[in-house]
Copies of this chain bind each other. A is one copy, B any other.
Amino acid sequence: MTATIKDIAARTGLSITTVSLVLNNKQSRISPKTRQLIFDTARELNYIPNQMAVSLVTKETKTLGLVIMDIANPFFAELSKGISAKASAYAFDIILCDTGDSYEQTMRSLKLLASKNVDGVVMTLSDEIRDEKMKVLSDFLQNHTLPVVLIERVDRLVMADCLNVNHEKGSRLAADHLLKLGHRKVGCITGPSHLEATGRRLKGLKDVFAENGVEFRPELVVEGDYHIESGYAGTERILTADPSVTAIYAFNDLMAYGVYQCLKDRGIGIPDQMSVVGFDDIFFSKMLYAPLTSVALPIRQMGERAVQLLIERVANRELPRRCDVLEPSLIVRESTAAPRGTGPLD
Contact = CB atoms under 8 A, between A and B. Distances in A.
Given A96-B95, A96-B96, A290-B289, A81 B71 contact: yes
A288 interface: yes
Nearest to A2: B144
Contacts of A96: 66, 80, 84, 93-96
A306 interface: no
A181 interface: no
A260 B287 CA distance: 8
Contacts of A288: 287-289
A46 interface: yes
A264 B100 CA distance: 36
Contacts of A52: 52-53, 55-56, 61, 116-117
Contact of A98 (B49, B88, B284, B287): B88
A61 B52 CA distance: 9
A324 to B, nearest CB: 22
A72 interface: yes
Interface in A238-296: 257, 260-261, 264, 283-284, 287-290
Interface stretch (A107-115, A127-135, A160-168, A183-191): A107-115
A28 interface: no
Contact of A284 (B50, B112, B284, B289): B284
Contacts of A84: 71, 96-98
A1 B70 contact: no
Contacts of A48: 111, 114-115, 144
A78 B85 contact: no
A71 B77 contact: yes
14 contacts: A1-B144, A2-B144, A48-B111, A50-B56, A52-B55, A52-B116, A84-B98, A85-B98, A93-B96, A93-B112, A95-B96, A260-B289, A284-B284, A288-B289
Interface of A: 1-2, 46, 48-53, 55-56, 61, 63, 66, 70-74, 77-78, 80-81, 84-85, 88, 93-98, 100, 105, 111-112, 114-117, 143-145, 257, 260-261, 264, 283-284, 287-290
Query: 5 closest pairs, A vs B, by CB?
Result: A289-B289, A77-B77, A72-B81, A96-B96, A84-B98
